[in-house]
Chains A and B, each alone.
Chain A
Amino acid sequence: MTPSPTPFKALQVLIVEDEPLLAMDVEMMVEEAGHSVVGEAASLYEVEAMPTEPAPDLALVDMQLARGTNGLDVSRLIQDRWPSAVIVFVTANPKKIPEDFSGAHGVIAKPFSRSGFMSALNYLGEGIADPPPASSQPSSFVAAPSVLEIWSARSQMDG
């Protein structure tokens, strides 16, 4: 932990999760971390129906979504519509994510702990506001290789 004060930036977060309780839980943790939720969706169609403004800074995307849709398709749509958004899969099946993450930026595996999720959120917040993140990468978050290249400079796992 380096005590260097990172300029905090409140992120606009999009939550794509088909389990309502978990969506509610994630929403509350996002808000506790000082960010705000710009939208919630349970399927690809609901993401499609969203207004393009405001653009999210961070999208937390479950892999298995409602109405037979999946996180990879949502990720492609987000990349298309909001190219600057950081996309993080939140899934119980991290092995189903392609090795190159299909253009997404990382994964938080389920089941996550509150502390693991909050650490990941803090780390992502630092990475988005002022890369590279000041904190070391928490074990609860796995970054895509492309993101690691950009952020790796000062990231060192201590476990």
Chain B
Amino acid sequence: MSQKDDWHLTEILDYEHGRGDPFAAAVRATRMAMVITDPAQPDNPIVFCNEAFQHLTGYSREEIIGRNCRFLQGEGTDRSSVARIRAAIDAAESIHVDLLNYRKDGSTFWNALFLSPVRGESGDVQFFFASQLDVTDRVMAQETIAAQKAAVDSEVKRRTADLEKALEAKTLLLHEVDHRVKNNLTMIGALLRLQVRSIDDADIRAKLETMMERIDALATVHRRLYQADDVTRFDVAAFAANLASDVIGASGRSNIRLRCDIEPIEVRSEHASALGLILNEVLTNAIKHGLRENRAGSVSIFATRDGEEATLSIEDDGVGLIMDPASSGLGHALIKRLSPQSGTTVAWDRLPTGTRVTLRIPEMEHTS
């Protein structure tokens, strides 16, 4: 390019500023690409371009002067942006727009085009002045960020969908297992009840009934746990009261009175089955043996808490049975073996009339 010697081609700028004008010199020398077009000529051709513009586009001055700016556009150029530029020129207004332009060698660049009308003293538009800044890096960075964001978004969506699917599968499995546990417990209970009815020998039937009651106690614990709002806690006092009420209610005996004076005693649900079985032994012992042979009487359940320890006591005014520690019966073994798990102690006292069984149960925070 022979910019340095082409002073004569810029004579057109001498309309209002003389040659050698410092402003014209600055325009020619700046690194900002600039053109001036003349709207008075057909198709608003470029009448001046600086060296930076030639450098940016790859065209020489001879190839540029006399042409409309649209020669920089190509197939990737956004049509609506071009229309906005045309509208701004028609309205003689300024406009700033990012446009994809093409160099002589066919390569592209993002052009931050600023275009504004230049008015003469009369107020008429004499020229359009346009500056071009290569903002390819910025646009590409934005596009890269947008692409990365889209990629991350779609990955997050995919992972979320995977997790939701996994959760759905787990929930389904949990429901299935829960349903099976309930149904199996129901079936085990039904099988035992069916068997009990078919046994003629009173002793064997009594033993099987005892076993059935133990299974029933476990089923009741499970039912109460799944119906509770908080599956991690189990109220043993309410369980004892309900069990006693069910056993008395089912016996059809109207000569047993049940008295309950209880406050909730909550244990961790992992201890629920063991304590449920212990209470089943104690309560059936009181009702079936303490108040045996249709002996009229009462069963009382008291539950109190004193901070670190809860006390659950079950009293009957029956025959005064004490579960013999030396007894080889399974009932006693169950109580002895199951109580240490939850740190519970079980004491048997003979009352003037009847028996009192006292369970001392550590409060939940202290249970191991």
A residues whose Cβ falls under 8 Å from a Cβ of B: 1-3, 5, 19, 21-22, 24-25, 28-29, 92-94, 109-119, 122-123, 135-136, 138-140, 158-159
Contact B189 A111 (CB under 8 A): yes
Contact A111 B219 (CB under 8 A): yes
The CA of A99 and the CA of B191, in the complex, are separated in Å by 32
Contact A159 B242 (CB under 8 A): yes
Chain A residue nearest to B182 (CB atoms) is: A92
Chain A residue nearest to B240 (CB atoms) is: A159
The CA of A22 and the CA of B189, in the complex, are separated in Å by 9
Beyond A24-B194, A111-B219, 17 additional pairs, beta carbon < 8 A: A1-B249, A3-B255, A21-B194, A22-B186, A22-B187, A25-B193, A28-B197, A110-B185, A112-B223, A114-B189, A114-B216, A115-B250, A119-B245, A119-B249, A140-B246, A158-B258, A159-B241
8 Å CB contacts to A: which residues of B208-250? 212-213, 216-217, 219-220, 222-223, 227, 238, 241-243, 245-250
The CA of A87 and the CA of B141, in the complex, are separated in Å by 70
23 contacts between A and B (CB under 8 A): A3-B255, A5-B254, A19-B187, A21-B190, A22-B186, A22-B190, A25-B189, A25-B193, A110-B223, A111-B185, A111-B186, A112-B189, A113-B189, A113-B213, A113-B220, A114-B212, A115-B250, A115-B251, A119-B249, A122-B249, A122-B252, A138-B245, A139-B242
> Could you say which residues of chain B place their CB within 8 Å of the CB of A138?
242, 245-246, 249
The CA of A31 and the CA of B269, in the complex, are separated in Å by 36
Is B260 part of the binding interface, using a Cβ–Cβ cutoff of 8 Å?
Answer: yes
> Could you say which residues of chain B place their CB within 8 Å of the CB of A111?
182-183, 185-186, 189, 219-220, 222-223
Is B86 part of the binding interface, using a Cβ–Cβ cutoff of 8 Å?
Answer: no
Known: A111-B219, A122-B249, A158-B245. A94 touches B227 (CB 8 A): yes
User: What is the minimal beta-carbon distance from B265 to any residue of chain A, in angstroms?
Assistant: 13
> Could you say which residues of chain A place their CB within 8 Å of the CB of B149?
none
Contact A3 B254 (CB under 8 A): yes
Which 10 A-B residue pairings sit nearest by Cβ, starting from the closest? A113-B216, A119-B249, A115-B250, A159-B241, A118-B250, A111-B219, A111-B185, A25-B190, A92-B182, A139-B242
> Could you say which residues of chain A place their CB within 8 Å of the CB of B185?
110-111
The CA of A22 and the CA of B187, in the complex, are separated in Å by 7
Contact A1 B216 (CB under 8 A): no
Contact A139 B246 (CB under 8 A): yes
Q: Which of A3, A5, A92, A119 contacts B183 (CB 8 A)?
A: A92
Contact B245 A136 (CB under 8 A): yes
Is B79 part of the binding interface, using a Cβ–Cβ cutoff of 8 Å?
Answer: no
Q: Which of B219, B245, B255 contacts A112 (CB 8 A)?
A: B219
Q: Which of A28, A109, A123 contacts B193 (CB 8 A)?
A: A28
> Could you say which residues of chain A place their CB within 8 Å of the CB of B256?
1
Q: Which of A92, A116, A159 contacts B250 (CB 8 A)?
A: A116
